[in-house]
Amino acid sequence: MIKPVNQKAWWLVLPVVICVAFSAILPLMTVVNYSVQDIISPERRVFVGTEWFVSVLRDEELHSAMVRQLVYSFAVLAVEVPLGIALALAMPAAGWRASATLVLVALSLLIPWNVVGTIWQIFGRSDIGLLGAALQAIGLEYSYTGNPTHAWLTVLAMDVWHWTPLVALLCYAGLRAIPDAFYQAAQIDGASRLAVFRYIQLPKLRGVLMIAVLLRFMDSFMIYTEPFVLTGGGPGNATTFLSQYLTQKAVGQFDLGPAAAFSLIYFLIILLFCFVLYNWMQRVGTHSTGTAASDAGERGAV
């Protein structure tokens, strides 16, 4: 096969490159600029190399924020993904009930972040809030402003309330895309409800679940507005996640150098985690083949 060589198509990519450069790369370079210099005023600046990076990485506060953030993000995934799948499975497939359910489920997605924070701030109050008062009434000393665990759980519950519907909607779409023949074949094969879920629905949902996991991971890893409104990062530092930490540095203390350095690190962390999650989920299918094949091999050997 001889293919004609024609490189002219690169010119077609140029507009995109220019757009991305203006909207993403150049602003990012500003951050890079700040991260390697100490800028006192536009005329007075000193190149400091990796100094900011080193100082940020050695910051104890950052370490604990990082741990809180990771635990939080994985808790979000651990709750929202199974719950979203369960919700999608329970939603009616067709008719007016399906439309009504879709609207109801999607409702929380339409509420702005800061409003969600405010809603929960009131919802959780032990004097006038439905949740807080109810918990008080059954004898739980609930206080999201005083108790770090309660605060952390409330932020988690708020995120679950706000974003599980997204996972559910994605899964719902994935479920509707499975042809009837699969269910019919499974019925004829005598498969149990659990087997249908395990061998038909779950494998067919892999694509949408990957999107759901990545979206929820990225979003929860960058969570800012809701805890800011609800707890302001407290009590103590209990709900101070990475974004809060960053804002405190950049806006509160005006440490632009360390804040810029950390922004870059933050960006790389998210990129890394998404990369790892994506590859892991891509491999889940093939991995199970590996065990399946070795299973079969063992059985063959026995």
Partner 1 sequence: MARIQLDIAHSYRANPRDDADYALLPMRQTFEDGGAYALLGPSGCGKTTMLNIISGLVAPSQGSIRFDQRDVTQLPPQQRNIAQVFQFPVVYDTMTVAQNLAFPLRNRGMDEARARARVGVIAEMLDLSAQLDQRAAGLSADQKQKISLGRGLVREDVGAVLFDEPLTVIDPHLKWQLRRKLKEIHRELRLTLIYVTHDQVEALTFADSVLVMARGRVIQSGSPSELFEQPAHRFVGHFIGSPGMNFIPVNRLKHGGSVSGSGSGSVSSFDDLIPPGAITLGIRPEYLGMGESKPGEPSEMNLLAAKVQRIQDLGSSWLVSAQVESGAEGGSDCLVRLRLARDAAVPALNQVVGLRVFGPHTRFYDAQERLIGRESEGALR
Nearer to partner 1, 146 or 297 (CB): 297
Check binding of 282 to partner 1 (CB under 8 A).
no
Q: Does 292 bind partner 1 (CB under 8 A)?
A: yes
Q: Does 94 bind partner 1 (CB under 8 A)?
A: no
Question: Least separation, in Å, of the C-beta of 286 and partner 1?
Answer: 8
Find the binding residues for partner 1 in span 187-216 (CB under 8 A).
187-192, 195, 199-200, 203-204
- Closest to partner 1 by CB, 271 vs 293, is 293
Q: How many residues bind partner 1 (CB under 8 A)?
A: 26
Region near partner 1 per CB under 8 A, out of 26-34, 143-151, 210-218, 283-291 = 283-291
Nearer residue to partner 1 within complex by CB, 131 or 186: 186
Cβ at position 183, least distance to partner 1 in Å: 9
Q: Which is nearer to partner 1, 113 or 182 (CB)?
A: 182
x-or-dash string of contact with partner 1, 153-192, rule CB under 8 A: --------------------------x-xx-xx-xxxxxx
Phi, psi of 47 (to 5 degrees): -75, 125
Rank residues 146 and 285 by Cβ distance to partner 1 and give the closer one: 285
Residues in 128-157 at the binding interface with partner 1, rule: CB under 8 A: none
Q: CA-to-CA distance for 295 and 299, rounded, in angstroms?
A: 6
Closer residue to partner 1 in complex, CB, 94/181:
181
- Contact residues toward partner 1 (CB under 8 A) are 179, 181-182, 184-185, 187-192, 195, 199-200, 203-204, 285-286, 288-289, 292-293, 296-297, 299-300
